[in-house]
Each structure stands twice: as C-alpha cells, then as structure tokens.
Structure 1
Amino acid sequence: MGNGIAFKRRELPGLDPRHYRIVQGLDSAAALVTEDGVVAAAAEERFTGEKATGAFPVRSIEFCLRRAGIDMADVDRVAYGFDYRPSELDDASAYTRRRFDEVYSPEVMRAQLAERWPDLDWETRFVPVPHHLAHAASAFHLSGFDEALVLVADGMGETESLTVAAGRGRDLEVLHTVPALHSLGSLYGAATLHLGFEFAMDEYKVMGLAPYGDRERHAGLLDELVRLGPDGTFSVPLLGENRDWREHETHAGSLRGLTRLFGPPREKGEPLEQRHMDMAAAVQTALERALTHVLRHFSERTGLRRLCLAGGVALNCTANGVISRSRLFDDVFVQPAAGDDGSALGAALHVHQSQPGTAAPGRMTMPYWGPEFPAADIDALLAGAPGCVTRPYEERAHLVTDVAKLLADGDVVSWFQGRMEFGPRALGNRSILADPRDPQMRDRLNGLIKQREDFRPFAPVVREEDAHEYFEITRSESARHAHMLFTVRTREEFRSALPAITHVDGTARIQVVRRSDNERLWELIGAFGTLTGVPVLLNTSFNLRGQPVIADPALALSTYLRSRLDHLVLGDVLVTRTADPDEGR
C-alpha cells in the first residue's frame, strides 16, 4: 500500500504535512522464509534512503532473491501482510471507496507484482494474510514457545487495533479483538502529533519524554484517555471525537480533545515545557495500564504463562519493561521488527507454517538477515578514498584492542560489520559506539552527531555474563533482552558510573550480547571492560538525523566523512578522517 500517502495528497490537498502520514502501509519490507528458516529480510527504507517508506519493496525483494540465489519463479508463494476486503467503512464516502480501489485492494498489490514479474501466475502465488495474524505469526513462530498468549497492538490492521490470540503448536487462535475506533496505537499517535512530533514515526520520542513528566499530575484524566471495562476490555473515548471520515484522516477531533485535557498543542520546533512532559507521562501511563489490564485478564482466562508481543505498540520498550516486571508471565518475547516491517516476515512465516509437515523454526537469535559485503568490496571502496586514512588489520584481536582504546579515550566510533539487522534497532552490526561513563557523552551525541532532541536516551550493550551485575535482571532473563526491546533498571550503585545510558528514571534499554551471537562485539565490550573496569558500551544506530540506518559501505563512508564521528570501522579496516568535517562550511 505504498501509494497511500500519494493518494491522500491528491485527494486532500492543503493538510498539515504531518497528517499525510496517517495512512496504512508504511515501513514496507520483504523477507524470504524456507525450510531452513529466515534466509533474508530487509526494510525498503535501507535501500531508498527514505525513512519509513511505504514504497513497493522491490529492492528488498530483489535483495532477498539474490541472497538465496534464486529467481522469483522459484518462490512458491508471495505472502502479503494485509487482507483487505470491501466493507461498510470503505463505502462511507466516495473518498473511502476510491481509497479501497486504488490503495487497499489486493488487486493493487497483484498488479505491482505483475508489472515487475509479468510471466508468473499471481492469482495463485499471491496470498493475502490478515494484518494482525501476520504480526502474531512474526512473534509466535520465532519465539521457540510451544504455546503462548500473543498480543498484537498497533494503529490498526484491516479493521482491528488490538488482537489477543493463543498460540499452540503451529496454530494461532484469535480470542479477542478491539476495533480501530479504540486504538491504543492511534491514541499514542495523536498524542505524538499534539506534542509537535511526526505521526507513525516519532512515538518513541513521546516514550523518551515521559520519564521527565509527573505521572501523578494527570492521574484523574486517565479514564479520559483509556477507560477500562470488565473482562479485559477498554475503550478510547478521544478517538470517538473524530466526527466524520475527514476528521479520522487528520485526528482533528482527537486533537481537540487533547487540547481540552492538556492545553494547546506544541508546534513543531517549539521548546518543550513541563506540561508537555506531564502529558507524555499521562499517555504512557494510560498505555501501560490498558495493556496490563488486557493481559491480566487473558493470562488468567487461558492459564498461558508465556507471552509474545507484536505490532507497533510492542516497540514501546517502557511498556514492555512494565509487562516483564509484572510477573504475569514466566517469559516474554518480542520479535525485534515488531512494526509493520515485521508483518512481511510474519506473513511469510504464517504461509510457510501452514504447509503440512513444516517444522517450527525455533527460538530466533539475532536478526542479522540483511545484506553483507565482502572485504574486497570494502578495500576497493577505500582505495584512494579522499579525506581519510585507513588502517587494515590482519588480526581481529588487534583491531578490537585498538578500538577499545579509542572508546576508552572518549572517541565515538561508527561500527559497520557483517549482515545488517532487520528491524529499527542497531544491534551491533550497524552501530555507533561510545563510552557510557562520560556524563557529557549523551549531550555530545544528541547535539553534534545524531542532531536530535537532548532529552532522548541512549542504550547500553553488555555481555550476557555481566548483565545481571549492572542491571536489575536475573541470569535466566538475559535472553529476552537480546534485541533492545525492554527497559530495565540500572542497579543503583552503577547509575552514576553509567550516566550516558541511564535515563532520568534510572532505567536503560539494554541489549544483552552472547558470544555465540556476535563474537566480535562481545570481544570489543570485553576489551573495553579490561581497560576501564566497566564492560558496557553505549550503542545507538549508525545514521544521522532523518536518515535510515546505514545499509552499505559506500553510504557508511560518505556519512562518516560528513559527520562529527571520530572513527569508522568497516569490517577489518579502521578509517579516520584527515580533516574536520566543518572545514570550509
């Protein structure tokens, strides 16, 4: 549904530019699944450079095919993570009827496939999968659980915004759905707009802002945001204030309601005030309260003691941390591409698991499913590259030792290794690494390098054997923290020693690394710990403001050379610029 924004711009000219993102079908991606598991997966934004693009994922598809060494004719089924059917909602107006015909109809996707691969039978190869079923499959089938409760929450699927299912074996049984009119994801998105950020892109900024707010200030308004009902039900009154389809397209009614409750909206770029922080805290509290309300009921009803989370709301690592610490479940799994990019993976997994005799893929490890580049390509790129000095290493141990020294001395290193991660988090192969002990490091990264808001926190990466010492988790819980999707508390005695990765509320969004999952990163953390006594690094994504995470060496080099990053490591080569990037500006 990559033409959703273009359709809306054509049909509804003159809107606030941020309102054009209130559409379905962003974060397009492709994944290839075989009997060997997940062979390849990548988001289209990494190839086009357009962050969160909804464009038809032709480059991602081509990458997956190349990775497997096959052609599209070798693919048995092409699964699609939406299954729109005509409904009363689509007949609400001429606008919604045209939108179904031009954007939502499965025939639109078949036509795009046929345009690129015209000799194949798309009537039989193309399989639409209901959106929430795709999300649920993306988590359950990679969790390694024989049975689990599965909760999917996002803005909306076809008509629903939250689904509770029971996963057993290869089957997913839907137990409960919440219609889009009461969407937790849409409420959070409307709050994101009210606070001056981008809908369906900047919700994590609201999450990061919330700990600066007073959760008690608006405690009396929580029912105005999400009203809890019996048997795990809830409603979202503010979304009912959108009076017609036009207001649904802009959340105009919901935004009026937020203004009534919290005061005037913040314009983009205006200073953040305490009232904005208090509002973010209230919305975050309402979300956590609703999710735990639903999960408590269905955990009691089903007796299931394991949980899978998916959908865009499952990227709210603060809420995930609350759920994890609630002890409602013995184990919690979040598939790292929990947003709509992951629905491509889930659709493929669902269709694959539906085939008789198919074995379950088991618990996934790291989502290193993207492209990688041979050393020869990196050497060719760097040969005579202007503005930098390169130092190749024959021994990995020497590279790790030298980079650890640079980090310990306060330098910031961009780290490009192996296969690219799938999902929004940089998990050690497309990362920026820094010293978490430096109290100025967060401001330095936010202001000079990432060029982003100063309130936003950074994440730590820590080895599995050290995680419990620095953070409030047990050894047995470390596996759930491999993908940077839960906040945990930094142990109080280490909060002052780790200021760059400990948020204002004492929490951190940790990534726990096992040696078997990423040996090079594991060794680097260990070498840094040997030098400093603290085996923890700051890890953030390798990109600059407005840029998707870096996909290839050429973009890595060009980004580094125009940034204020101190060093770049491409594979086994340390790159250092010879001139200040601001010279001549």
Structure 2
Amino acid sequence: MIVLGCNGFTRVSEIFAEHFGAVGTERHYLLGHDAGASLLVDGELVAAVEEERLNRHKKTSDFPVNAVKWCLEHAGLQFSDIDLVAVPWDFSAEVLDGMLLDITSTSVSPTAKLGLISGIGELFTGAVSHEAILADFAERTGYTPDPDKVVFVPHHLAHAMTGYYMAGMKDAAFLVSDGRAERFSSLTGEIRDGRVRVFDASTIGAHHSIGLLFSAVTRYLGFVPNNDEYKVMGLSGYAEPPSPNPFLEHIVELHEDGRYTFCRPLETDDPRSFDPLFQQYFGPAQDALEYKARVAAAAQEMLTVVTSHQLRALESRTDLDHVLFEGGVALNCLNNTPLFESSRFDDMYVGFGASDTGIAIGAAVHAWVGHSDSAGRKKLAPSVTPYLGPEYDDATVEQTLREFSDRVVWRRLSDDEVVAEVAELLTEKVVIGWYEGRIEHGPRALGHRSILANPWFPDIKDFINTKVKHREPFRPFAPLVLESDAPKVFEMGRKTRSPYMTFVFPVRPEFREVIPGATHVDGTSRVQTITDQDTPRLAALLRRFTALTDIPCLINTSFNVAGEPIVCTPADALNCFLGTEIDHLMLGNCLVTKVEAF
C-alpha cells in the first residue's frame, strides 16, 4: 500500500491576511504552516520533506507541490500508483458547525462576530473544506484523486500517530498540545494496537490554548508568534520567575481531569487582546533584556505547571508505561525534562516531527493503519531516521562548485581525510558548515545540514550569533555528544538518549568550563546524542575531535541564517557560506574555502 501524506493550502495565507489581519510572515503561521509531504510504502517511511526546504519560504503554508513531486520521484512512483492520500486536517461540516457555535457564544461585539463568521466562511469554502482541499490538490498537481481514496485525519490524531510510528508503534499514552487544530488545542489519550482512544474530558478548546497564550507572550516581547517561541524559552534562563507568578495567580486556572482555563477566553480577532493583562501584571512593555527575561521566565514556569497538570491527569487514566508528547508545545525542550522526570512514566518520547513538520507523516500512518490488517502491522517494527529528504550526488556537488568557482576553491577528500582534517580544523576557533547525505526532517539540524564549532571557546556563541546566524546574542547552542559519553557530561536523569534535541539537561559542574560555548547561562544544554549507527561520519568526527582535544562535544546549530530555511541544495549551502563568516564548508567530500581567504 502506498500512502502520500500532504499538508498545506494554496490560499490559506491570503485568506488570513485579508480576513484576520495576519500580515507579513505571520500569515504563514496560523494554519497549514510547516507544509510538507511524506510517502509510506507498505508501512515504511521512504521519504518526507518540508516544502520550505524546496521553495525557500520559511514556515510556508503553501500547498506542498514541490515536496509531493519530490517524494514520488524519489520512490520512482507516479500519482496513479498512490493508494491513499492522507491530509492532517478534517474540517468536516460538523467541525464547521462547531466553529460557528464557538464564535456565536463568545462575548465579542455583533460586528466582530459577523466579521469572524465571514472570515471562517471564506476559509472553509476557499481553503480547508474537503472539497476545497481536493480541488487544490488537482489544480496544483494536475492529478485529481479519487475522493474515496482521500483520508482526512483530525489534526491532533495526526500528531499522535506521528509519535506512535516514530517510537516504534508500541502501545503508549499521549499528550498533544499546540496552538490550535480544527477546534481544539490539546487532548490526551491512548494508542493500543494502532487504535486511538481520546480522553474527551481532558480536551482543551482553542480559546484556552496554552500554545496560543505562549505565542501571545512571544508577540508581546517583540518576536514572531508561532515561530520564535524558542527565543522566549532561551530568554527565560536569564531570570527567575516572579513569585507569585502572575500567570498562575491571575490568568490560568487549573481544573479537574487535567483541564485548565484562562481568566477570559483568547480573542481570535485580536491577537493582542492579552497585552493589557501582561502590562497590568508585569508593568509597561520594555525592550530591556531584564524585563523580557522576567516575563519569559514566568511564561516558561506557567507552561511547565500546566503541562504537568495535564500529565498527572493522564497518568491517572492509563496503565501504560510510555507516553508520547506531540504538538508544537512539545518543542519547548526546557519543559520536557522536568515534565518527564516528575512523571511515573518509564519513558517520554518527543520526536523530530513533534511540531507540524511531522503531521504529513502522522496522517499517512493513520491512513495506513486504518486500511491494513493488524497482523501486517505487527510484522513491521519501523526504524525511523530523520534523514528523509533530498540528497545530491558527487556529480551535482562538483557541478555546483564549478558554478561558484570565481568565489571558492575546494579539494576532494576521502572519508578518512574528511574526519581527520575537519577534526584538526575544529581544534581552533573556526566555524564549519557540515553538509552530507539526505536532509533531516523537522525544525532542527541533526548533523546533515549543520554548522559545527568548538565549544571550548566561551565567546564562540557570540561570534556565531552575530557573524554567522545574524540573530540575537542571547540565543544558546546545542552540543552534540556521543550517546555513550552523554551521562558523563550531562545530568541525564532517567533519560539515556536525546537524539533530536528535544530535552535539556544540566551540564555537570566539571564540564562547564570545558564546553562553555554550549552551556546556557542557566547551566543547561539542549543536547543531541549521536551514535555510529545513526550518523557514522559525524560520530567518527566527534570521536577524532575528542581524541585531539579531550573535549567530548561539538556545537551543532542549523546551517542557515535567521529568517531562512535550513539549506537543502549544494547551491543553498554555498550561498549561505558566502553570505556569512563561516570559515570552511565540508560539502559532501569537498572541503571548500572562500577565495578571499587566500
């Protein structure tokens, strides 16, 4: 069985800009963002890529025409070979009725209600209804799918199935939390033998979304909501949360069954509706780091308290020992470690596709599970890698290098020479672009499209932030470490691995002066553990670097600059290399240096 997963809408950003006041990049961050496609062949995930990697528009919500075509081309398939198309949204007629009921029951003015109803009507008929999605698919691809072979998967169930598949399809409880899905923002439940059971009493409506509240804080602090929440997370390390915490005293109220509400519902027609409350409890908005850090620390503590409240309720409802945490809120890795450590679960899985980057995968899995027999599913124990996107052969790399020959010089190295020479370079204060194999899936570079540096230099993070990434100086960097060495360097608690940078751990005191460039101001690091099996050449590089320096980690950050997607093609990598102060580029097996360096 061949299943194509597909997330993205041609007109949705236009509709949000026209009817909901979403301007600039924000128009991509409300619905359908992280557009992409995936391909499952007889239950095996053979390809997946975000549309932004190909069309070069960060967080794009556009229909993923390039991603769809690449997935099929990679597998040598035609549209006619597809058995099912899976869409990670289900805007049914019943969902529309519920959305309209939500609007009519709010306390906003009649004029505002009519405006919202008009906007929702245009959104439904022009972009997200079943009929609109089918028409969009046909218009953008030239292929009209059989409506009976299109599976519309509720958004949060797609999230849950993403985690279920990536964690090995073991029975597990789940917590899904994000900004909003069709109508809701969070739910909990179980997956047993592929069958999903939602604990309805724990469902949270969109008007009380902890994800949207955190996004409101993100906007209030001057960042882009639904994109820059990680900046708020990073800022929170520069302050202690105020006591009492205004969010927990005045804004959020916890209830039974893991539910929670706000002092008043979020207003979908006014994204700044909570700004007066923030100013009331934190004082007038300021641009000072101290002020922003205090608000960020309070928001971070609030997030941990709320999600812990949800997880405790989930613990009481299930006898399963493993939990999946999915949705955009799960990318808050600073929250994930205390959330797991305070739980009774044996393990918590937060994957590389936890945000909407993964829902095209989860929708395909949901459709496959629903259309295959139990015996067939049990034969498959998926071993999922994040390296699912395009790769480029040596001939393409060298042809691209020739096109840039007036600006770069290069040498082709053997695999052993790559490891030896790059490790030697990294003993100095240099920044290296590292490019190999298939591009990783998800929002974080995991060693195939990375920027590497030596964490022993305390000021290396300042250099990378200002001269390379062109971003705020308070932003921390992740260390990559061999999985076998991780407990020696970090206080891992009950976790044994963190391959996707989804958990944060304290750096052991004796290593804080060894890796200051990868240690945040609060003494923690967002860790990526690696193995020879997952990333053999990167693991060999780290092992060689450690032998030369006695430093067990390397800084790993995404190969891009602020506002740009992670590089995909060799040309993307060369353009980023030439537009920044990266010292060297390891492009496949070609060691590249800028002409002006000679």
Q: Give the residue type in structure 2 aligned to 1:500.
A: G
2:215 is aligned to 189
- Per-residue deviation, 1:254: 1.9
1:58 is aligned to 65
Provide the rounded CA distance (Å) in 2 between the counterparts of 1:151 and 1:43. Answer: 24
Residues 184-583 of structure 1: matches in 2 within 5 Å? 184-238=210-264, 240=265, 242=267, 248-266=268-286, 271-357=287-373, 358-359=376-377, 361-362=380-381, 364-383=383-402, 385-393=405-413, 395-473=414-492, 477-479=495-497, 481-579=498-596
- Structure 1: unaligned runs, 5 residues or longer: 243-247
Q: After superposition, give the CA deviation of every residue in 1:523-547 in whole Å (9 maximum; x if it has no partner).
A: 0000110110012100000001211
Provide the rounded CA distance (Å) in 2 between the counterparts of 1:272 and 1:76. Answer: 55
Q: After superposition, give the CA deviation of every residue in 1:412-449 in whole Å (9 maximum; x if it has no partner).
A: 10000000000001000000000011101010001110
Distance 1:88 1:354, change over 3 A: closer
Q: Give the residue type in structure 2 aligned to 1:472.
A: E
Per the alignment, in what secondary structure is the counterpart of residue 329 of structure 2? helix
Per the alignment, in what secondary structure is the counterpart of residue 231 of structure 1? helix
- Per-residue deviation, 1:390: 0.5
Q: Give the residue type in structure 2 aligned to 1:257.
A: L
- Per-residue deviation, 1:220: 4.8
TM-score, normalisation: structure 2: 0.91
Q: Which runs of 4+ in 1 moved over 6 A?
A: none
Per the alignment, in what secondary structure is the counterpart of residue 251 of structure 1? coil
Q: Give the residue type in structure 2 aligned to 1:137.
A: M
Comparing 496-505 with 216-225, which one deviates more in the overlay?
216-225
Q: Percent identity?
A: 36
Comparing 422-431 with 499-508, which one deviates more in the overlay?
499-508
Provide the rounded CA distance (Å) in 2 between the counterparts of 1:578 and 1:118. Answer: 45
Provide the rounded CA distance (Å) in 1 between the counterparts of 2:216 and 2:597. Answer: 41
Q: Give the residue type in structure 1 aligned to 2:514.
A: A
Q: After superposition, give the CA deviation of every residue in 1:8-48 in whole Å (9 maximum; x if it has no partner).
A: 322356x6657645621111010101225110001000011
Provide the rounded CA distance (Å) in 2 between the counterparts of 1:108 and 1:34. Answer: 27
Distance 1:130 1:195, change over 3 A: same
Provide the rounded CA distance (Å) in 1 between the counterparts of 2:336 and 2:138. Answer: 40
1:245 is aligned to none
Residues 14-163 of structure 1: matches in 2 within 5 Å? 17=24, 20=27, 23-85=30-92, 86-90=96-100, 92=103, 93-118=117-142, 120-144=144-168, 146-163=170-187
Comparing 201-210 with 223-232, which one deviates more in the overlay?
223-232
Provide the rounded CA distance (Å) in 2 between the counterparts of 1:101 and 1:263. Answer: 43
Comparing 164-173 with 19-28, which one deviates more in the overlay?
19-28
Provide the rounded CA distance (Å) in 1 between the counterparts of 2:169 and 2:40. Answer: 19
Provide the rounded CA distance (Å) in 2 between the counterparts of 1:190 and 1:575. Answer: 43
TM-score, normalisation: structure 1: 0.93
1:167 maps to 2:213: no
User: What RMSD, in angstroms, separates the aligned Cα atoms of the two structures?
Assistant: 1.9
Per the alignment, in what secondary structure is the counterpart of residue 465 of structure 1? coil
Q: After superposition, give the CA deviation of every residue in 1:68-119 in whole Å (9 maximum; x if it has no partner).
A: 1101110111100000122142474222222221122122210011124445
Provide the rounded CA distance (Å) in 1 between the counterparts of 2:203 and 2:550. Answer: 50
Q: Give the residue type in structure 2 aligned to 1:343.
A: I
Per the alignment, in what secondary structure is the counterpart of residue 461 of structure 1? strand
Distance 1:566 1:119, change over 3 A: closer
Provide the rounded CA distance (Å) in 1 between the counterparts of 2:168 and 2:66. Answer: 30
CA contact (8 A) 1:145 1:306 kept: no
CA contact (8 A) 1:143 1:362 kept: no
The correspondence for 2:11, drawn from 3, 7, 19, is 3
Distance 1:342 1:22, change over 3 A: closer
Per the alignment, in what secondary structure is the counterpart of residue 337 of structure 1? coil
- Number of aligned residue pairs: 567
Provide the rounded CA distance (Å) in 2 between the counterparts of 1:117 and 1:423. Answer: 24
Provide the rounded CA distance (Å) in 1 between the counterparts of 2:124 and 2:279. Answer: 32
CA contact (8 A) 2:479 2:554 kept: yes
Per the alignment, in what secondary structure is the counterpart of residue 383 of structure 1? helix
Q: Give the residue type in structure 1 aligned to 2:205.
A: P
Q: After superposition, give the CA deviation of every residue in 1:144-171 in whole Å (9 maximum; x if it has no partner).
A: 2522110100011111100101111211
Provide the rounded CA distance (Å) in 2 between the counterparts of 1:383 and 1:171. Answer: 53
Provide the rounded CA distance (Å) in 2 between the counterparts of 1:80 and 1:263. Answer: 44
CA contact (8 A) 1:81 1:128 kept: yes
2:106 is aligned to none
Q: Give the residue type in structure 1 aligned to 2:529.
A: V
- Structure 2: unaligned runs, 5 residues or longer: 1-8, 104-116
Q: Give the residue type in structure 1 aligned to 2:134.
A: R
Provide the rounded CA distance (Å) in 1 between the counterparts of 2:551 and 2:382. Answer: 30
